Amino acid sequence: MDQQAVQQAAQLINQAHHVVALTGAGHSTPSGVPDFRSTGSGLWSRVDPMVVASIEVFQQYPRAFFDWSRPLTRLIMDAQPNAAHVALARLEHMGKLKAVITQNIDELHQRAGSRRVLELHGHMRESTCRQCGQVVATETFLDEWLATGNVPYCECGGILKPNVILFGEMLPRDVLAAAQVEAMACDLMLVIGSSLTVMPAATFPEIALERNVPVIILNRDPTHYDQRATVVMHDDLEITLPAIVAAFEELGNKER
């Protein structure tokens, strides 16, 4: 691990007043939640997302989505926040981090203690009936679905769709708007575990960079923003992010 990069990142956090984090699937892979785009191991390397995770397919053949997402949901339920989740929550509790913009649907940020989490791609907490529009807590059918694989239905007879964003669906407007406001307001952006290839999440670092805001990228693989970022680290997130937060705390203790 590059200690100079750790110290530089800590200094940037120390100097900032409004830090915003953008997190992707790589933030949760150490917790056992697979990502989508890694060559060979990513979920989309095994199945065509348009066959199992598009709104068009869901409308015509919902079982394809439920059969595919069932084992993934089990993994998410069994997953625990990792050290990077905990470090990010700690940064918020210390008053530096103002928001987490996440592409993840696993709620590990919230379970680690993060309070302001903007979920761009939705979540599993609630489901909406495709027929009558009723919103129900997913936990009302979760155990039965995981045990039997039966497609969940509303009392009106419509199919209940978890409130995750499928291909072909619009992102939640209020969440997207709030994320754009944070990208415009931040004076430091952390990009953690994101390949920065999925829109519109990939536009947020651009918003920051256009305002000459420093960007720190922590990701296993290179991104097309690396050359423009102030700090880039391709090491294990469970090591780098806690080390940066610890170095920031040490700086604060010295100043006091």
CB of 58 closer than 8 Å to CB of 161? yes
Catalytic member of 27, 85, 109, 121: 121
Count CB-CB contacts under 10 A for residue 15. 11
Sign of CA dihedral 49, 27, 111, 206: negative
Single-letter amino acid code for the residue at 154: C
How far apart are the C-alpha atoms of 225 and 247, rounded to whole Å? 25
Q: Does the annotation count 121 as an active-site position? A: yes
- 251's CB contacts (< 8 A; 6+ apart) are 10, 11, 14
- DSSP structural state of residue 153: B
**Site of tokens 């059918």:** 141
* 3-class SS of residue 171: coil
Active site residues: 121
